[in-house]
A and B are shown apart, each in its own frame.
Chain A
Amino acid sequence: AQKITQTQPGMFVQEKEAVTLDCTYDTSDPSYGLFWYKQPSSGEMIFLIYQGSYDQQNATEGRYSLNFQKARKSANLVISASQLGDSAMYFCAMREVSGSARQLTFGSGTQLTVLP
């Protein structure tokens, strides 16, 4: 079974509008972290936001926020007031902490295009 599922291969949003990128995950580990990374066309991977499994509040980082629904095992990224520079591939990733594992497992990504 896929550990991280991103069901939207591509999304379009109008500039200045908000957009939600979906991510669901599968783990039996009670301790885990969820990460979102942005990959522009230039190829680098840019860390955006983190949510821990024990965090009571949804993470926020500037225009990025995470809609964390633990019971549903979802960690959707919300980008508010989209900008043209937000056009990129977005990856959701998970780290399961038990056994001191540190590897990240990535989803297949969502290609976001911001329209002027």
Chain B
Amino acid sequence: EPEVTQTPSHQVTQMGQEVILRCVPISNHLYFYWYRQILGQKVEFLVSFYNNEISEKSEIFDDQFSVERPDGSNFTLKIRSTKLEDSAMYFCASSPGQGLTDTQYFGPGTRLTVL
């Protein structure tokens, strides 16, 4: 069964450094997403991406964040200058784009730790 994959599973970085989180969505899906979950808190939407551009973003997704689909399979989230509060689990998700019933399938997550 096709699944969303994410690398790395755990990333440790120093405050102020840039990180790139990578995702491979399910191959025939059209919509891609990033969410984050700070430890012990609810899952929060960051951004959605369709047809090579951002379709929605939340207040969290400020100028420090960017997304890219550099080739036909990868979808990346870049954080330019990490802060301590960026420490969280980051989930990539994808969906086929089926209207109301469109279901998002999540990857296993990347745990980002900012020191």
Looking at chain B's contact residues, is the secondary structure mostly helix, strand, loop, or mixed?
strand
Q: Is B51 an interface residue (CB 8 A)?
A: no
Q: Which of A35, A42, A53, A103 has the most CB of B within 10 A?
A: A103
Within 8 A of A (CB), among B40-65: 41-45, 48, 55-56, 58
A91 near B48 (CB under 8 angstroms)?
no
> What is the interface size of chain A, counting residues whose CB is below 8 A from a CB of the partner?
29
Within 8 A of A (CB), among B86-115: 89, 91, 93, 95, 99-109, 111
Distance of A35 Cα from B93 Cα, bound (Å) = 14
> What is the interface size of chain B, counting residues whose CB is below 8 A from a CB of the partner?
28
Distance of A110 Cα from B1 Cα, bound (Å) = 28
* Residues of chain A lying within 8 A (CB to CB) of residue B58: 103
Bits for A15-39, please: 1 = Cβ < 8 Å to B, else 0: 0000000000000000111010100
Distance of A42 Cα from B102 Cα, bound (Å) = 25
In-complex Cβ contact of B42 among A42, A44, A91, A101 (8 A): A91
From known contacts A35-B103, A102-B55, A102-B95, infer whether A43 and B111 are also in contact, taking CB-CB under 8 Å: yes
In-complex Cβ contact of B56 among A37, A45, A52, A102 (8 A): A102
Q: Is A106 an interface residue (CB 8 A)?
A: yes
Beyond the given A35-B104, A108-B42, please list 20 additional residue pairs across the A-B interface where CB-CB is below 8 A. Answer: A31-B100, A33-B102, A37-B106, A42-B108, A43-B89, A43-B108, A45-B93, A47-B105, A50-B101, A52-B101, A53-B100, A97-B99, A97-B100, A100-B55, A101-B56, A102-B102, A103-B56, A104-B35, A106-B43, A108-B41
Q: What would 25 A/B residue contacts be, using CB atoms closer than 8 Å? A: A31-B100, A33-B100, A35-B103, A43-B108, A43-B111, A44-B106, A45-B43, A45-B93, A45-B109, A46-B106, A47-B103, A50-B101, A54-B100, A95-B102, A102-B31, A102-B33, A102-B55, A102-B95, A103-B48, A103-B56, A106-B42, A106-B43, A106-B44, A108-B41, A109-B42
Binding site for A on B (CB under 8 A): 31, 33, 35, 41-45, 48, 55-56, 58, 89, 91, 93, 95, 99-109, 111
